[in-house]
Amino acid sequence: METLTASKSQIKVPDKFVYYFAAGEAEGNAGMKNILGGKGANLAEMTAIGLDVPPGFTISTDICTHYSAEGNKIPDWVKPKVLEALKRVESKIGKNFGDVKNPLLVSVRSGARASMPGMMDTILNLGLNDQTVEGLAASSKNPRFAWDSYRRFIQMYSDVVMGMNSSLLEVTLEDLKAEKGVHNDTDLDTEDLKKLVKKFKSMVQQMTGHSFPADPLEQLWGAVAAVFRSWNTPRAVTYRELHSIPSEWGTAVNVQAMVFGNMGDDSATGVAFTRNPSTGEKKFYGEFLVNAQGEDVVAGIRTPQPISQLQEVMPAAYSDLERNYLKLETYFKDMQDIEFTIERGKLWMLQTRNGKRTAKAALQIACDMMDEKMISEQEAIMRIDPASLDQLLHPTLDPNSKKTLLAKGLPASPGGVCGQVVFTPEEAVEMKEKGHKVILVRVETSPEDIAGMVAAQGILTSRGGMTSHAAVVARGMGKCCVAGCAEVEVNYNTESFKAKGYVVKKGDIITLDGGTGEVYLGEVKTIEPKLDGTFTRLMAIADKMRRLKVRTNADTPKDAKTAREFGAEGIGLCRTEHMFFGEDRIDAVREMIVSDTKQEREKALAKLLPMQRDDFYQLFKIMEGFPVTIRLLDPPLHEFVPHSDSEIAELAKRIKYDENRLKHKIHSLHEFNPMLGHRGCRLAITYPEIYQMQVRAIAEAASQLVGEGMKLIPEIMIPLVATAKELEILRQQTIEVVEQVQKEKKVKFDYLVGTMIELPRAAVTAHEIAHHADFFSFGTNDLTQTTLGLSRDDASRFLGSYVTGGIFAKDPFVSIDQVGVGTLVKTGVDLGRQTKGQLKVGICGEHGGDPDSIQFFENVNLDYVSCSPYRVPIARLAAARASISRKKG
Amino acid sequence: METLTASKSQIKVPDKFVYYFAAGEAEGNAGMKNILGGKGANLAEMTAIGLDVPPGFTISTDICTHYSAEGNKIPDWVKPKVLEALKRVESKIGKNFGDVKNPLLVSVRSGARASMPGMMDTILNLGLNDQTVEGLAASSKNPRFAWDSYRRFIQMYSDVVMGMNSSLLEVTLEDLKAEKGVHNDTDLDTEDLKKLVKKFKSMVQQMTGHSFPADPLEQLWGAVAAVFRSWNTPRAVTYRELHSIPSEWGTAVNVQAMVFGNMGDDSATGVAFTRNPSTGEKKFYGEFLVNAQGEDVVAGIRTPQPISQLQEVMPAAYSDLERNYLKLETYFKDMQDIEFTIERGKLWMLQTRNGKRTAKAALQIACDMMDEKMISEQEAIMRIDPASLDQLLHPTLDPNSKKTLLAKGLPASPGGVCGQVVFTPEEAVEMKEKGHKVILVRVETSPEDIAGMVAAQGILTSRGGMTSHAAVVARGMGKCCVAGCAEVEVNYNTESFKAKGYVVKKGDIITLDGGTGEVYLGEVKTIEPKLDGTFTRLMAIADKMRRLKVRTNADTPKDAKTAREFGAEGIGLCRTEHMFFGEDRIDAVREMIVSDTKQEREKALAKLLPMQRDDFYQLFKIMEGFPVTIRLLDPPLHEFVPHSDSEIAELAKRIKYDENRLKHKIHSLHEFNPMLGHRGCRLAITYPEIYQMQVRAIAEAASQLVGEGMKLIPEIMIPLVATAKELEILRQQTIEVVEQVQKEKKVKFDYLVGTMIELPRAAVTAHEIAHHADFFSFGTNDLTQTTLGLSRDDASRFLGSYVTGGIFAKDPFVSIDQVGVGTLVKTGVDLGRQTKGQLKVGICGEHGGDPDSIQFFENVNLDYVSCSPYRVPIARLAAARASISRKKG
């Protein structure tokens, strides 16, 4: 493998890195996302299929890496090629960059491989200066438009490229409006804007120490550099972490001739989806603003009109748009998210990309497109992000519960949640850490709010549409969001909001219904989700396509039932210790623990036997003959005993034990590193009678069910094995007990004895261990802790800076560390099967429900994954996708 | 690799498994130790070179494994071959087994590959019954001898084969002596012995429920089985663990015609060494007893005469013995430990083997034999057990200190030690666990005492010679022992002993001088050992032969100096945190820890900088340009803060910090698994300024020394790296600080930045990590903890049963777990060198001073080992032996 850092000498200069596009002349295409970014590739493709796209060119993603490697500098060899492409744009459009009479203006936009909405910075109207603005005024015959474009450009450029605090110019603008007694930017006239531009430029000089660049080329290089630089801003880094986008990918830069949606009332700009991104309904869906630039829609500053109204306002342009969107969807065979601008009645397509959607919409669209013969079953499966199913499995509000409606906004992202109101992302994070559920309430959100959005149960905004930042990001996260809820008057100063006469303060509880856009006062009862036909249909297809079996981790009949309903094909991990905590038995467990002799221990264990037998009987029964893997006692014994003096005193009374001796006993169980202590099979090596009782309970329960006519094959699993010898000894003891019970009960049944592979030593000696194991189950939680030397309970205080610092791409407890822990998993599988070719191998850590990890487990040939009941559908879908991806290579 | 358990189907029946030996007819030889055991192989060899050895045969070690695999049963196919060999012995010696007139009697002895003195059971005089005893009486013309042999046989056989408590018969014997008013066994006459035999047989019937077997063949099979069985007695298992002998080796059985040292005053038995096993002096050395069987000498029940007196008592036999011992030593080219019996004036050789010796003797003998051209330099090196050097490095008593002599015994094993008197092995173990130093005082020791001997500083016995159990075992352990100290009257009942009028009670302190045999009252000052010329000479040879460099783990100038004197070639591990605990600096460390801001932390660190600089300056200076590896801060911060309320209150006052806030701060540092917590390089990722201060201190110290004209290359080591990225970041920070200091001080020096490989993830991703490392140092302590999931601090409560149960062959913290941890070490080395062919790789865990581990490190091509100063000579020797062994393949 290669080192992670790129240094100058290691990166090859690419042969081609500037790709021109204009009607019929695209040098790139949709397949070149890796080097052109999503936006650039699709611009090229749209051009190629004959849509009207303003001409331009894309600087490839490689240059982003070169830019970083050269210490944030555009390499000298890049510039000539850029100028060459710029020339082609000039001659295509018949305007020249920097021309004082009829100047070419360009937009400069980022475009990474994966869509990163709102994350990267964009510059519009680039090329304006005191001379060219006059040319634009003359050529457009609209001086107000020209000067408004100029002041917008200065605002954007000084913020994004020159690093100036943009609110200073914003305030100046607001001051001017206040001075003139007007409310909207559009109320300012040309003279106002000229004044503003002058003021802006002097403020830039004052605040940054540099004059605002008048040379269009200097502007261009500055903007290109800013796009590359913005790849590594903290907010971009956070987004990448959240979406597992490698930092090496880099962003491309798209330079494109400007078209203007703000040239008057015959101009407009808008965004739209070819289908409803929230429900999946097959209906054109979107929003537009007359006399505006694109940023005005996305930023949510003015509330836009629904796309259907465009038909009335500009029928010809709408008809072109309709033709285009149908063409694009047919061409890309997926729901498209498009951006357009209408300049003086002419429609220009600015962007198309596969649209983000809710899980519900994704299922609906996939099913509809299969029915429309647009996509195959396999493609349908690949269209659904398994993690997004979580949304469908989340509770919704109980329609029968009493509610106090506070307000109604846009149903931006589904789900029903309640929590305490907070007004800043920092508070959201803080409260979450203290264990509170919170709702983040904002006028509107921006990329700076992402950490708070992650921490919150749901998001409520008072401004912005269905495609506002809050809405798009929340849908991506599968998080409940009500957006554009204008009835809600937010006051950050008093930390409260008003709605329908109520005043809701910080800390008060509200409930959101992301499916309807409704906001309620107080807590509203929620109900479990029901899954509709599209879910069932796609799951059936997924099941047909996957190789990996999906089991569940379940310790209780309730969990087991839920998992069966979600399609679990057995229990991969039943943690018997969870059964030890029942009120009716914990004291017997404690008696066993504080026993001084084997006889005392056996007496206490005898009390537990019938209870454990009943536990297992029920689980076996619910699983109806599906395999059930029971892990014998794993945690250190001190986890079962009380530690405070008063609790110890009470326990001593209850179990009739000397209090001081009990204290001493309990104290002697203390461990420095319990994770690495006297636990798992080590307990059974020192106290064989514990596992013997558990095995007897399993065998007796199985005997009973066999007697009742059920067929079952219990799988008995020995945890924390480090050496073959441990398993050899404990396997032998297990077999003796089962055979004894079979003799007593006069029944025969098959059973397996296997082991967890959860220590590095077990993985590297799996060939020895396999001699004594009927199956392996990777315990990747503990394997991660030991392989990384990282305690899950203690890591929180630095894991954050590890993910932020790029040391871990993802939290290794959430998604398996493939390079480190994964290598040991692969070693364990390969060595185990070297000894026993057909060894059954599964995984039962938290990673069993994580799609990326499931792909890894598919690739290393595990037989099954096991995960929590609610993640079973996710795992089924992820397993199908993993099979498909693997076959594709 | 194969499974550890042998099951029937897996073991091949060997082609030959019974090996006959008699003058000129040996079927085996000295090279066949693996299948004949040490004793059997040497009996064959002695026969072959023409010494008088009673004829017999050896049943090979393979049969021991078959015996176990068949469920403790001699396989049927073994017996015909044994009977065939027995026939040959009968015809050779002219007596028949079970013959009532002139019966052949045999001894049955164990004999494993490695010598296991006192561990295995032996039966003498086998073949006697009520009929054959009369034949023996007639043929020997000595009825008393015959009946004495018979009663001895019953005593031994009923104990060893029939599992009867031997003390019952012993008591009966003592009762009879008391009844008759005699003191010695020899005072009993034939009639007494006949009565005793009758009584013994009826007691055997009564106690075991079986009559004593009269059939000589039944006796033989019983004895053979008992030898095999004894391989797995707890005491044998303990001995094996202590000496790392695999349980698969098994023992052979030697069946040999009896000769008798107890046929009267013209008979004798003895043991001897060809040189002095304590000093190495080239002088025949040993003991004998007239009219006795071998067991009498070894058991230490009667105090034997020095061998030199044999010349006077039996000059002819002595002269034969002298000829034989010289022949044997010349033949085997090593100091021999021999057993012989003189039957009616004729000398029979019963055993020869390489003799155990003290380290001092080993060095002397090796040097002498080199000078005598008997062995090569390489052979000399292979003769010295590196672990035994520990003895030479132990302190001796200060000759100038005031002493109160209590008694003088035999100087059985060298060293000067003091401790509290205990009288039972259990007390020794208990007191040791409580942290006390103890001297185990016994009348004599037996294998049951071994655990107590291990726990004790030294051993004092009142009976037994230089070859008694206590003496042999203590020498093997390198433990101080004074044996046969008859002046000491031990009273177990009152838990005290008397000597020279003093009464010494349990808990009183005494001092032993194992070099002189003197016992002193109270504590006597000890002095550091001086190493003599043989040590220096052999070390010089070892240094010539080894490839591995040997460094030391040293944190203080004192340790560094000691290590240099012992020949350390640099410091492999300087744990900088140990320097943090100094009284003058610990509060500054604590201020740093409880700082809320980077600024506060830097202020506190600034106080530490000059102290750390001085620490490093001194170490660099002492190491005179040898490499010095400094590990940056490793332990979690909570290790440096006080935890009790009162200490916290005092600290708060001293550092002027709010007490409650301090409590809260300290509490927040608590970790569930500190071993896997916020420590090592993780501290530096969150608080870069800590390492920056340490690196600055290193760089400033180096600059100063460079200014003083010294050449040095500091090695800066980053601990607990799990990912390449961590090292990449910290390496960069390190380089920046060093370059800054070099600029400030206007000096240049080379330095290395490397890392510990102590997490499994680091080992399996070593190819990535190596990109950022100038060297690797394996931290096998932590690597063992994480690979095995085993906390060193917590393992004590079950590690014992793990070693006893055969799960670990050796404590994995003492000798590296080659199969598990070793695999990761090898992986790490190979992957690291895959990236950097010449990567310097060492090891700095406790294993660096363990000879077995050193052989492993040689085999996986490490460049150096680093160990504690006192183990440096051991490591130097072990490294030489490892080189030699490896070349031999």
- pLDDT per residue as tens digits for the range A451-507: 889 899 999 998 877 667 788 677 656 688 998 888 898 988 899 999 988 999 999
CA distances from A816 to A390, A478, A751, A784 (A): 19, 22, 30, 8
Residue A423 predicted with pLDDT over 60:
yes
Residue A672 predicted with pLDDT over 60:
yes
Residue A7 has a pLDDT of 43
Separation of alpha carbons A519 and A417, rounded Å:
10
A821 CB near a chain B CB, below 8 Å? yes
Nearest CB among A686, A765, A824 relative to B798 is that of A686
Give the pLDDT mean for B698-723.
Answer: 96
Q: What value, to the nearest 5°, has the Cα angle with vertex A457 and ends A452 and A459? A: 65
pLDDT band at A239 (very low <50, low <70, confident <90, very high): confident
Nearest CB among A726, A807, A820 relative to B726 is that of A807
Contacts of B4 in chain A (CB under 8 A): 724-725, 728, 768
Residue B476 predicted with pLDDT over 80:
no
What token pair was written down for B889? 């393949």
HSE at residue B6, side-chain half, CA atoms within 13 A, is 18
CB within 8 Å of chain B, chain A residues 789-818: 789-791, 793-795, 797-798, 801-802, 805-808, 817
Residue in A with minimal Cα distance to B727? A807
Most confident by average pLDDT, A268-272, A661-665, B112-116, B663-667: A268-272
pLDDT band at B4 (very low <50, low <70, confident <90, very high): very low
Contacts of A823 in chain B (CB under 8 A): 764-765
Give the pLDDT mean for A135-142.
Answer: 90
CB contact under 8 A, B759 and A685: no
Closest CA–CA distance from residue B754 to any residue of chain A (Å): 16
pLDDT band at B7 (very low <50, low <70, confident <90, very high): very low
Residue A22 has a pLDDT of 92
Average pLDDT score, chain B: 90
B598 CB near a chain A CB, below 8 Å? no
HEC readout, B662-725? HHHHHHHCCCCCHHHCCCCHHHHHHCHHHHHHHHHHHHHHHHHHHHCCCCCCEEEEECCCCCHH
Nearest CB among B673, B795, B821 relative to A794 is that of B673
- Number of Cβ within 10 Å of residue A213's Cβ equals 17
The interface pTM score, or ipTM, of the predicted complex is 0.77
Percent of chain B with pLDDT over 70: 95
CB contact under 8 A, A801 and B686: yes
A64 is catalytic: no
Contacts of B823 in chain A (CB under 8 A): 764-765
Residue A8 has a pLDDT of 44
Residue A73 predicted with pLDDT over 70:
yes
Residue A455 CA, chain-centre distance (Å), reads 13
| DSSP output for A780-820 | HHHHHHHHHT--TTTTHHHHHHHHHTTSSSS-TTTS--TTT
Q: Does residue B129 contact residue B216 with C-beta atoms inside 8 Å?
A: yes
The residue annotated as part of the active site, out of A481, A574, A844, A867, is A844
CB contact under 8 A, B768 and A724: no
Residue B8 has a pLDDT of 44
Best probe of the A interface among B683, B756, B764, by most A CBs < 10 A, is B764
Percent of chain A with pLDDT over 90: 64
pLDDT band at A230 (very low <50, low <70, confident <90, very high): confident
Give the pLDDT mean for B157-180.
Answer: 88
Residue A796 has a pLDDT of 65
Residue B807 has a pLDDT of 87
Q: What are the pLDDT digits (tens) for A113-123?
A: 887 754 566 89
pLDDT band at A797 (very low <50, low <70, confident <90, very high): low
Q: What is the DSSP letter of A581?
A: T
pLDDT band at A298 (very low <50, low <70, confident <90, very high): low
Q: What are the pLDDT digits (tens) for B541-567?
A: 999 999 999 999 998 888 899 899 999
Residue A478 has a pLDDT of 63
Give the pLDDT mean for B489-517.
Answer: 91
pLDDT band at A1 (very low <50, low <70, confident <90, very high): very low
Residue among B353, B487, B468 nearest B412 (CA): B468
Residue A120 has a pLDDT of 61
Give the pLDDT mean for A49-68.
Answer: 94
Nearest CB among B685, B761, B798 relative to A802 is that of B685
User: Which pTM value belongs to this model?
Assistant: 0.78
Closest CA–CA distance from residue A595 to any residue of chain B (Å): 16
Nearest CB among A673, A821, A823 relative to B793 is that of A673
The residue annotated as part of the active site, out of A64, A394, A418, A469, is A469
Q: What are the pLDDT digits (tens) for B808-836?
A: 877 788 889 999 999 999 999 999 999 99
pLDDT band at B389 (very low <50, low <70, confident <90, very high): confident
Average pLDDT score, chain A: 90
CB contact under 8 A, B685 and A807: yes
Q: What are the pLDDT digits (tens) for A544-583?
A: 999 999 999 998 888 899 899 999 999 999 988 878 877 7
CB within 8 Å of chain B, chain A residues 690-749: 720, 722-726, 728-729
Nearest CB among B725, B759, B817 relative to A807 is that of B725
Per mean pLDDT, which range of A403-412, B118-127, B600-609, B623-632 is the poorest? B118-127
Q: What are the pLDDT digits (tens) for A334-375?
A: 999 999 999 989 999 998 888 988 888 999 999 999 999 999
Separation of alpha carbons A422 and A508, rounded Å:
9
Residue among A10, A2, A17 nearest A69 (CA): A10
Residue in B with minimal Cα distance to A767? B1
Give the pLDDT mean for A38-47.
Answer: 91
B778 CB near a chain A CB, below 8 Å? no
Catalytic residue ranges of B: 469, 844
Q: B200 φ, ψ to 5°?
A: -55, -45
CB contact under 8 A, B794 and A674: yes
Instruction: Kindly give, in sequence order, each residue whose CB lies less than 8 Å from that of residue A492, ignoring residues fewer than 6 positions away.
Output: A423, A424, A443
pLDDT band at A125 (very low <50, low <70, confident <90, very high): very high
A71 CB near a chain B CB, below 8 Å? no
* Helix %, strand %, coil % of chain B (to 5): 50, 15, 35
Query: Higher pLDDT residue, B527 or A609?
Result: A609
Closest CA–CA distance from residue B797 to any residue of chain A (Å): 8
Chains A and B: how many Cβ contacts under 8 Å? 191
Q: What are the pLDDT digits (tens) for B232-283?
A: 877 777 677 667 788 888 999 999 999 988 888 899 999 999 999 988 999 9
Residue in A with minimal Cα distance to B684? A798
Separation of alpha carbons A306 and A261, rounded Å:
17
Nearest CB among B758, B761, B823 relative to A820 is that of B761
Residue in B with minimal Cα distance to A832? B1
CB contact under 8 A, A724 and B3: yes
Helix (H) / strand (E) element for B632: namely: none
What token pair was written down for B505? 């009670």
Closest CA–CA distance from residue B1 to any residue of chain A (Å): 7
Residue B376 predicted with pLDDT over 90:
yes
Instruction: Kindly give, in sequence order, each residue whose CB lies less than 8 Å from that of residue A456, ignoring residues fewer than 6 positions away.
Output: A419, A422, A428, A432, A438, A439, A440, A479
Give the pLDDT mean for A395-404.
Answer: 83
Give the pLDDT mean for B330-349.
Answer: 93
Most confident by average pLDDT, A666-680, B599-613, B791-805: B599-613
